[in-house]
Structure 1
Amino acid sequence: MIRALLVFLLLATPANAADMAFFMKNPHARDVAVELHGEKNVWPGGDQVYLLEGRSQKSVPIACTEGETICYGAWVFADDRISFGVGPKNDLDCTDCCAVCVAKSTATIDLVR
């Protein structure tokens, strides 16, 4: 019985799940809202955002799928006309605003235009 339970748990656990961190830096004086957009998920999700106060930085951990591409969308808090990365609707073209999910790694986000 215990062996069957262990086999079930091993099969039920995704082999490609990874914990990764994103280190975000806001060099601007104004507060900035940030979302991370994966192929199937959005972090933090649930109509929430990561808030970076002016001239601050923070690291946020996420659970993602190994090899998944994750892009950031950011905008000045309360004014989404000023945006960075893929923007607030994940619909802007960007360069250098995506990272690949790699277990136990950190990607850096510099919020520059």
Structure 2
Amino acid sequence: MGLALAVAVAAPALAADVTFVMRNDHPNAVEVELYSQDRDHIWPGDGQVFYLDDGETKEIPLSCEEGETICYGAWISGDKQSYWGVGPENAENCENCCYTCTGGETEQINLTE
């Protein structure tokens, strides 16, 4: 019993996967980052972005912690003043741009003019 308790206490947070489904309906290419609201983590990270050409739909699978809140930030490539969601650097407030990591996929997120 003591050993089982020690193992349970040492176990890492439960991992889950979620897929963000994003469609770029804007006439210009857009860049996207996904931001954890519960820890210091960005997808894809390392200064990179997910890139969507105009008219492109992309499925973005992530590994995240079960129950973690993730918000998207998107902006016109080369124009960080025109954005959706929390925008570049997770700097803005948004409505309906955050999802809970529980597995599965989001509804299609349409980035329009």
Give the TM-score normalised by structure 2.
0.84
Which residue in 2 is equivalent to 1:4? none
- Verify: 1:49 aligned to 2:83, yes or no: no
Structure 2 counterpart of 1:32, one-letter code: V
2:64 maps to 64
| CA–CA distance in structure 2, aligned partners of residues 94 and 15 of structure 1 | 27
Cα-Cα RMSD: 2.0
Question: In 1, distance between residues paired with 2:10 and 2:63?
Answer: 16
How far off its partner does 1:12 sit? Answer: 6.5
Looking at structure 1, the residues matched to 9 and 54 of structure 2 have their Cα atoms a distance apart, in angstroms, of 45
Partner of 1:31: 29
Instruction: Detail structure 1 runs of 4+ shifted over 6 Å in the superposition.
Output: none
Gaps of 5+ in 1: 1-7
Equivalent residue pairs, number: 106
Structure 2 counterparts to residues 1-113 of structure 1, below 5 A:
14=12, 16-38=14-36, 39-40=38-39, 41-103=41-103, 105-108=104-107, 109-112=109-112
